[in-house]
Amino acid sequence: MSVKTLGFLTVDDKGRTTIPKRKRQELGMRTGTQLRVDRSSEGAVELVLTELVPRDQLWFHTASVQAGMAKAEDDFRTGRSTRTSTPEDAQRFLDSTKVSPRGRPSRKK
């Protein structure tokens, strides 16, 4: 892994530092950008631009949802999917997949 030094920062007595505007622009930083601070086993400190997941989107990142997404993507890749051409066809297909209260597929047509 190669490392490129982009400059130096000085921390003041309150623990603050300033990243020059030109460097912020080069790195794509804007107001509100969050940085994760990592430390390697060798002691190197790295600032990593980070986008945290909004609280209302955390459900998407659970193991069960990610597993379902992976399965769906695999289904699409291998042709295990159904295509419809109109909203009405799509609704008919979705209705055909409904399960009755007794656990059997619905017979609606």
- Residue-wise pLDDT for 62-80, tens only, equals 999 999 999 999 999 999 9
The pLDDT value recorded for residue 60 is 92
- pLDDT computed for residue 38 by the predictor: 93
Q: Is residue 13 domain-shared with residue 47, that is, in the same domain?
A: yes
107: pLDDT confidence band, cut at 50, 70 and 90?
A: low
Is residue 28 domain-shared with residue 67, that is, in the same domain?
no
Please state the length of the chain: 109
Angle in degrees, CA 40, 29, 41, rounded to 5: 0
Q: Which domain holds residue 11?
A: 1-51
The verdict on residue 107 lying in a domain is no
Residue 105's pLDDT is what? 62
pLDDT of residue 100: 76
Give the rounded distance of the alpha carbon of 24 from its chain centre: 23
Between CA 96 and CA 109 the distance in angstroms is 7
The verdict on 3 and 29 lying in the same domain is: yes
Are 6 and 31 in a shared domain?
Answer: yes
30 with 7, same domain: the answer is: yes
Task: Say which range, 13-17, 28-32, 69-73, 87-91, has the weakest mean pLDDT.
Answer: 28-32
Residues 46 and 59 in one domain: no
My answer on whether 41 and 71 are in the same domain is no
Q: Is the pTM of this model over 0.85?
A: no
Does residue 65 contact residue 59 with C-beta atoms inside 8 Å? yes
Task: State the burial class of residue 52 (Cβ atoms within 10 Å of its Cβ: 0-12, 13-18, 19+).
Answer: exposed
> Cβ distance 53 to 67 under 8 Å?
no
pLDDT at 91: 95
Contact between 70 and 78 (Cβ < 8 Å): no
For residues 45 and 59, membership in a common domain is answered with no
- Residues 1, 47: one domain? yes
- Give the residue carrying structure tokens 């597929």: 105
pLDDT digits (tens, 9 = 90+) for 28-75: 898 888 899 999 898 888 888 887 888 789 899 899 999 999 999 999
Count of domains forming the chain: 2
Is 104 a member of any domain?
Answer: no
